[in-house]
């Protein structure tokens, strides 16, 4: 498993395709800030539109573009002509996807959904507040346009198993979007930037492969073929964090996953993520997530997360 695979697995990314939007004329649709752990996306099938972010930045999307908001940032989706007051579109149910409409035609045709991930995910926090992937910038052999076409086909046909199919495809969609983003926009800082550095990347990859190991500066510096001082300075400059901060983040994500998916005792989980003391593990976990490990497990068992594709998920 390579480093990107590990980061995606730790983030526990799941996808859903929730809505088809067909808009005509002058319109505006406001999208509130999402809860931590939800990253909405929009795929432009036909037409074009504008997006305004809270800081005033404006983005134009055209057919073939995919917009992802990793931090769930509030945004305003609007037509390209007259600016109008945001309003609620007409909603039509009946097919696999609810359809939201402004007007009677489809100058703009969108697929809208979300990526659900573990909150405080190291991967998602390493991404910018918005990603725009243009199909025009992709290599001719890139599978992303074909995957979007398959998503559209499955949604339109609404055959047996279509809901399972589109949710499985949207999980793959995230990986292809991430791959395209890293190819089109090389990372200059943060945990993803470490992967692009030949020497520091070896140390970071080793930490991701075995986060429970009792890593030392000497061992990591040796993997990077650097002195201790040079390694710590270069790692901090490129990632913006110390190796121990990132290692703790990885361990806590791993622990969160074990608490939600296994029945292992807290002492076993503590050992699996590199802590000899359950008390020390519990303290770091509470500092990270705001609640003790046992409390989090009880909350997850008592309040199962909303499944992608549910009725509540089908709104924007």
**Structural domains of the chain sorted by starting position, each given as residue range(s) with its CATH number in brackets:** 3-184 (2.60.120.10), 191-302 (1.10.10.60)
C-alpha 300/C-alpha 73 separation (Å) is 25
Neighbours of 243 (CB within 10 A): 22
Q: What is the pLDDT of residues 4-47, one digit of tens each?
A: 999 999 999 999 999 999 999 999 999 999 999 999 999 999 99
Task: Specify the pTM.
Answer: 0.88
**pLDDT at position 295, please?**
92
Q: What is the pLDDT of residues 179-197, one digit of tens each?
A: 999 988 878 888 999 998 9
Q: What is the pLDDT of residues 232-291, one digit of tens each?
A: 999 999 999 999 999 999 999 999 999 988 889 999 999 999 999 999 999 999 999 999
| Residue range 141-160: mean pLDDT, rounded | 93
pLDDT classification of 303: cutoffs 50, 70, 90: low
| Residue range 83-101: mean pLDDT, rounded | 92
C-alpha 294/C-alpha 290 separation (Å) is 12
Which whole-number Å values give the CA distances from 305 to 8, 14, 163, 269, in the listed order?
A: 19, 12, 18, 21
């Amino acid at each position: 498993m390579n480093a990107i695979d590990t980061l995606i697995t730790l983030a526990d990314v799941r996808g859903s395709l929730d809505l088809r939007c067909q808009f005509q004329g002058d319109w505006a649709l406001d999208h509130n800030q999402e809860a931590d752990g939800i990253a909405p996306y929009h795929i432009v099938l036909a037409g074009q539109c504008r997006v305004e972010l809270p800081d005033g930045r404006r983005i134009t999307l055209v057919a073939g573009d995919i917009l992802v908001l990793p931090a769930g940032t509030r945004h305003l989706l609007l037509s390209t002509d007259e600016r109008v007051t945001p309003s609620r579109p007409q909603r039509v149910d009946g097919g696999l996807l609810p359809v939201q409409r402004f007007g009677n035609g489809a100058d703009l045709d969108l697929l809208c959904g979300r990526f659900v991930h573990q909150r405080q995910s190291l991967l998602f926090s390493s991404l910018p507040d918005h990603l725009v992937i243009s199909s025009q910038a992709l290599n001719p052999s890139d599978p992303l346009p074909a995957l979007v076409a398959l998503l559209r086909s499955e949604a339109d046909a609404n055959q047996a198993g279509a809901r399972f199919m589109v949710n499985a495809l949207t999980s793959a969609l995230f990986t292809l979007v991430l791959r395209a983003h890293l190819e089109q926009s090389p990372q200059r800082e943060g945990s993803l930037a470490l992967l692009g550095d030949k020497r520091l990347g070896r140390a970071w990859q080793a930490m991701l492969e075995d986060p429970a190991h009792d890593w030392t500066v000497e061992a990591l510096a040796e993997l990077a073929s650097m002195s201790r001082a040079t390694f710590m300075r270069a790692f901090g400059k490129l990632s913006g964090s110390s190796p121990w901060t990132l290692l703790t983040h990885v361990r806590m994500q791993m622990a969160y996953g074990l608490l939600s998916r296994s029945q292992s005792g807290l002492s076993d989980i503590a050992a699996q993520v590199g802590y000899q003391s359950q008390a020390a593990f519990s303290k770091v976990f509470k500092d990270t997530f705001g609640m003790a490990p046992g409390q989090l497990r009880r909350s997850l068992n008592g309040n199962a997360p909303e499944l992608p594709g549910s009725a509540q998920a089908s709104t924007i």
